[in-house]
């Protein structure tokens, strides 16, 4: 499939409505990442490595930041173009790109618009009209993230955009600000003569009258136009809320851990902590919990249960920050999984040690511990294949028995000081779930 190899990002605006003094709009951080960097990393995740950034207000500062970013990421090319008429509207910034000699289709975006990965993928799969463009259109007229009074609306006729503007009374959707454009588009704009200020919407309307603007419609996915402080706040809350919908979350993660970890992530997002460092922090918390569980008193055992649950909550932050900051990596996911298995082993070993030394159960304490350990490890092993099968079948797991449940049981039985019952529960629940999965997958 042919995909654009270049992304054009309009980043010339002042951003006066954001009320952030001394900082150019492209450099304003959204959840810890400057807007212009977030745009670049979003497209980079789909293999786009050539970028044209149109600057205006505080062009030197933006250029300096992009030069550093180019060196930090490596393997990308960022061309900065200064638009002398940037105050005359974002349409002039787009027309400035005509001198770059683009011959193939390219992506067009505004730096103050943020998108989830699925929407970027959607526009990349779309094809523009010859000498025209294709605009991503949100058909959700009651999208709570969008300010309907300030949003740019569109009127559609089949797959073609007929009208665009902020003052349309009856409309079919919203302009998301994400386009794929034909490399020949500027040939058709030679006859365009707009009155200042020239907006991109005017250019789209001009092409629409010639039947050269398609609409790629969406009914789901996250995007936001960050024009002002209230839009920022709405978008941040909505973006963080998306993290609660992670498909493989168990009931404890969904109902208890995520609401807490998301709040913690919002605090950590502006720190230099990396996802891998957070994974290690969670692991060392679990090690501390395992040590507490080996001690021979209620206070220590309860402290171990509480610490284990805290480690489980922190363990959710690494993935959240990785997704928010575009820092996902296969190594990070693998490291997190390995550390989780080590943590599980130490925790169950700690409980087993406590039972064997401080409870009159004889060798049964070791037997229960070994059964709980085997069940927990196999539960993690069987989860990968089972989860993938459920996703392939497009089925939703109403109750997923996994690590979050194990950690919560350690917490719950810890504060009630029931170590023997805890091992029995872990062993029986994990093996029962493993057998259920094997039965469900027998014909897969």
- 180-208 pLDDT, tens digit each: 999 999 988 877 776 678 999 999 999 99
* Res 245 pLDDT > 60: no
Condensed to tens digits (0 to 9), the pLDDT of residues 60-72 reads: 999 999 999 999 9
Q: What are the boundaries of each domain within the chain?
A: 6-237, 246-440
Q: In the predicted model, is pLDDT for residue 130 greater than 90?
A: no
- Looking at residue 387, what is its pLDDT? 83
pLDDT tens per residue across span 11-60: 998 876 665 655 788 999 898 889 999 999 999 989 999 999 999 999 99
Q: Let me know: does 126 contact 180? Beta carbons within 8 Å.
A: yes
For residue 213, the model assigns a pLDDT of 95
- CA 16, chain centre distance (Å): 27
Q: What is the pLDDT of residues 369-386, one digit of tens each?
A: 999 999 999 999 998 888
Domain spanning 6-237 has what CATH number?
A: 3.90.550.10
Mean pLDDT of 220-249: 83
- Rounded-to-integer distance, Cα 268 and Cα 229, Å: 21
pLDDT higher than threshold 60 for residue 246: no
Contact of 243 with 320, CB cutoff 8 Å: yes
E-strand stretches of 190-333: 213-218, 223-225
Lowest mean pLDDT among 99-103, 292-296, 408-412, 413-417: 99-103
The answer to whether 86 touches 43, Cβ cutoff 8 Å, is no
Does residue 242 surpass a pLDDT of 70? yes
Q: What is the pLDDT of residues 308-344, one digit of tens each?
A: 999 999 999 999 999 888 888 889 999 999 999 999 9
- What's the pLDDT score for residue 243? 76
Residue-by-residue DSSP string for 358-426: HSS-TTHHHHHHHHHHHHHHHHHHHHHHHHHHHHHTT---SS--SHHHHHHHHHHHHHTT-HHHHHHHH
Fold annotation for 246-440: 1.20.120
Which of 63-72, 296-305, 386-395 comes out lowest in average pLDDT? 386-395
**E runs forming strands in 119-158:** 133-138, 153-157
Taking the model in full, what pTM does it have?
0.81
**CA dist., res. 436 & res. 383, Å (int):** 11
């Amino acid at each position: 499939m042919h995909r654009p190899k270049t992304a054009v990002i309009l980043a010339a605006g002042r951003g006066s409505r954001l009320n952030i003094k001394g900082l150019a709009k492209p450099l304003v951080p959204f959840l810890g990442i400057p807007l212009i960097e977030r745009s670049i990393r979003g497209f980079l995740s789909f293999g786009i490595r050539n970028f044209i950034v149109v600057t205006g207000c505080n062009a030197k500062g933006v250029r300096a930041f992009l030069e550093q970013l180019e060196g930090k990421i490596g393997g990308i090319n960022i061309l900065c173009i200064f638009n002398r008429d940037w105050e005359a509207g974002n349409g002039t910034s787009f027309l400035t790109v005509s001198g770059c000699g683009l011959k193939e289709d390219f992506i067009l975006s505004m730096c103050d618009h943020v998108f989830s990965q699925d929407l970027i993928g959607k526009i990349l799969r779309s094809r523009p009209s010859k000498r025209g463009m294709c605009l991503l259109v949100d058909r959700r007229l009651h999208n709570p993230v969008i300010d309907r009074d300030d949003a740019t609306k569109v009127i559609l006729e089949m797959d073609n955009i007929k009208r665009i503007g902020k003052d349309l009374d009856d409309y079919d959707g919203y302009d998301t600000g994400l386009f794929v454009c034909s490399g020949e588009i500027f040939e058709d704009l030679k006859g365009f003569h707009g009155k200042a200020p020239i907006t991109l919407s005017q250019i789209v309307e001009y092409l629409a009258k010639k039947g050269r603007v398609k609409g790629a419609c969406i009914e789901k996915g996250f995007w936001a136009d960050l024009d002002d402080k209230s839009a920022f706040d709405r978008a941040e809350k909505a973006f963080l809320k998306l993290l609660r919908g992670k498909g493989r979350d168990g009931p404890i993660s969904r109902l208890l851990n995520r609401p807490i970890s998301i709040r913690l992530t919002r605090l950590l997002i502006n720190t230099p902590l990396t996802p891998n460092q957070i994974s290690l922090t969670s692991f060392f918390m679990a090690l501390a919990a395992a040590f507490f569980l080996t001690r021979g008193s209620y206070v220590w055992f309860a402290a171990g249960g509480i610490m284990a649950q805290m480690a489980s909550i922190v363990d959710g932050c690494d993935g959240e920050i990785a997704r928010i900051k575009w820092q996902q990596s296969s190594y990070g996911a693998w490291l997190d999984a390995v550390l989780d298995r080590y943590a599980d082993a130490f925790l169950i070993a700690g409980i087993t040690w406590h039972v064997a030394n401080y409870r009159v159960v004889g060798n049964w304490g070791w037997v229960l511990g070994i059964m709980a350990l085997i069940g927990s490890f196999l539960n993690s092993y069987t989860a990968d294949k089972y989860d993938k099968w459920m996703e392939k079948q497009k089925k939703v797991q109403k109750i997923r028995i996994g690590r979050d449940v194990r950690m919560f049981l350690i917490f719950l039985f810890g504060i009630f000081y029931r170590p023997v019952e805890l091992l029995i529960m872990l062993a029986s629940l994990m093996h029962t779930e493993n057998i259920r999965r094997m039965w469900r997958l027998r014909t897969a």
